[in-house]
Amino acid sequence: MSKKPVRIAVTGAAGQIGYALLFRIASGEMLGKDQPVILQLLEVPVEGPQKALKGVMMEIDDCAFPLLVEMTAHSDPMTAFKDADYALLVGSRPRGPGMERAELLAVNGAIFTAQGKALNAVASRDVRVLVVGNPANTNAYIAMKSAPDLPAKNFTAMLRLDHNRAASQIAAKTGKAVADIEKLTVWGNHSPTMYADYRFATIGGESVAQMINDQEWNANVFLPTVGKRGAAIIEARGSSSAASAANAAIDHMRDWALGTNGKWVTMGIPSGGEYGIPAETMFGFPVTCENGEYKIVEGLEIDAFSQERINITLAELEGEKAGVAHLL
Ligand SMILES: NC(=O)C1=CN([C@@H]2O[C@H](COP(=O)(O)OP(=O)(O)OC[C@H]3O[C@@H](n4cnc5c(N)ncnc54)[C@H](O)[C@@H]3O)[C@@H](O)[C@H]2O)C=CC1
Ligand SMILES: O=C([O-])CC(=O)C(=O)O
């Protein structure tokens, strides 16, 4: 094996997303089949979750993954994040039926202050962070603001599940292959206000907007379906999405680390003021990735309908941001 192993910290490792995520990371689906990995797994310092984590680690051992060099269990972020090159912050409470994700801020927000501080203190100076725990954008904002010595651009929030959901709905509507969809994006917050935008999307070089040509479907079927998909899954399954969330986390990190070959993907990233989004707002944008860095797709036309949608999701994020000022 020639590549140096990388350290990957995962929080909430004994949870349902953790169970769908860790095996795929260890098998090389996230960073490549030639990249050895070290897993540093964090759970709350409580007997039940720590015991469950041991069980998950026993199963990972039993897979005999050739790329897995080392694996450790932690109950303190200061040891879990030590020298981490990648951190997937999943651990936090999921919502139940009838709740909105923003309601989780009261119970989850403080986790990301503590974990941002710990990353700031002990992680690799180049650590790449993905926040999955909800509400993901604002939790990522809290973590970023709590880690002033790390590059703000290295803190990201997961909008990829929304992106993948939008792609799947478009494939179903057009009868085309999901793999052929390009230039799709989801703007804003990982919440029902998100704006999934296929105005620029193409399939085999042809315009998706022209293929569908149905603004009524866009506004009244597509956007609510994508925006409320998480709630629909909770309603159907009794608990929130896990395997699809883990899959989106793998997609997000893989594309960030290994590049997208010019293809657009959606990442929640701190705005640099693009498209009039105030600086530092953790916002879903269309990006391309190359050499371990993401770059916003700039210069897209924002029409009146889109601006209205972007304003709504931005206002929600600004409200969440104001509500967590006491945590920063
Ligand atoms: N951004 C997105 O697209 C999605 C986000 N989510 C969110 O991901 C989070 C996790 O979901 P699940 O795995 O289904 O929940 P879960 O309840 O099955 O697992 C969460 C785990 O995190 C642990 N945990 C809680 N606080 C922690 C802390 N401070 N440090 C380390 N571990 C901690 C818990 O002990 C538990 O084992 C939830 O907030 C959920 O809403 C879920 C799906 C999609
Ligand atoms: O809806 C939830 O609470 C879980 C989640 O974020 C999603 O499935 O998009």
283 within 8 A of 268, measured Cβ to Cβ:
yes
Extended strands (E) in 111-244: 128-131, 155-157, 181-182, 185-187, 195-197, 202-203, 206-207
CB-ligand 1 contact for 267 (6 Å cutoff): no
Whole-number Å distance between alpha carbons of 18 and 71: 14
Among 164, 165, 194, 233, the mutation site with the greatest number of ligand 2 atoms within 8 A of its Cβ is 233
One pLDDT digit (tens) per residue for the chain, 328 residues: 589 999 999 999 999 999 999 999 999 999 999 999 999 999 999 999 999 999 999 999 999 999 999 999 999 999 999 999 999 999 999 988 888 888 889 899 999 999 999 999 999 999 999 999 999 999 999 999 999 999 999 999 999 999 999 999 999 999 999 999 999 999 999 999 999 999 999 999 999 999 999 999 999 999 999 999 999 999 999 999 999 999 999 999 999 999 999 999 999 999 999 999 999 999 999 999 999 999 999 999 999 999 999 999 999 999 999 999 999 9
| First-last CA distance in the chain | 43
Atom of ligand 1 nearest to the CA of 248: 3
132 is in an annotated binding site: yes
Quote the tokens at residue 208.
């998706």
Catalytic residue among 163, 190, 252, 326: 190
- How far apart are the CA of 175 and the centre of ligand 2, in A? 26
Spatial neighbors of 105 by CB under 8 A, at least 6 apart, are: 135, 138, 139, 320, 323, 324
- Of the candidates 78, 149, 84, 82, the residue with the CA atom closest to the CA atom of residue 115: 78
Query: Pairing between strand 86-89 and 128-131?
Result: parallel
Whole-number Å distance between alpha carbons of 62 and 66: 11
190 is catalytic: yes
- Of the candidates 63, 65, 69, the residue with the CA atom closest to the CA atom of residue 4: 69
- How far apart are the CA of 92 and the centre of ligand 2, in A? 12
Residues in a beta bridge with 295: 288
Whole-number Å distance between alpha carbons of 245 and 260: 20
**What sign does the CA torsion over 163, 87, 76, 143 have?**
negative
Residues with CB under 6 A from ligand 2: 94-95, 101, 134, 161, 230-231, 233-234, 240-241, 245
Q: Residues 102-113, buried b or exposed e (16+ Cβ, 10 A)?
A: bebbeebbebbb
- How far apart are the CA of 148 and the centre of ligand 2, in A? 29
Atom of ligand 1 nearest to the CA of 115: 29
Whole-number Å distance between alpha carbons of 125 and 151: 8
ipTM given for this complex: 0.99
Q: Residue 210 class from Cβ within 10 Å (0-12 exposed, 13-18 middle, 19+ buried)?
A: exposed
16 is in an annotated binding site: yes
Q: In what order do the strands lie in the sheet with 206-207?
A: 181-182, 202-203, 206-207
- Minimal-distance CA residue to ligand 1 atom 37: 15
pTM for the structure as a whole: 0.98
Helices 304-323 and 136-145 pack at an angle, to 10 degrees, of: 50
* Chain centre distance of CA 20: 15
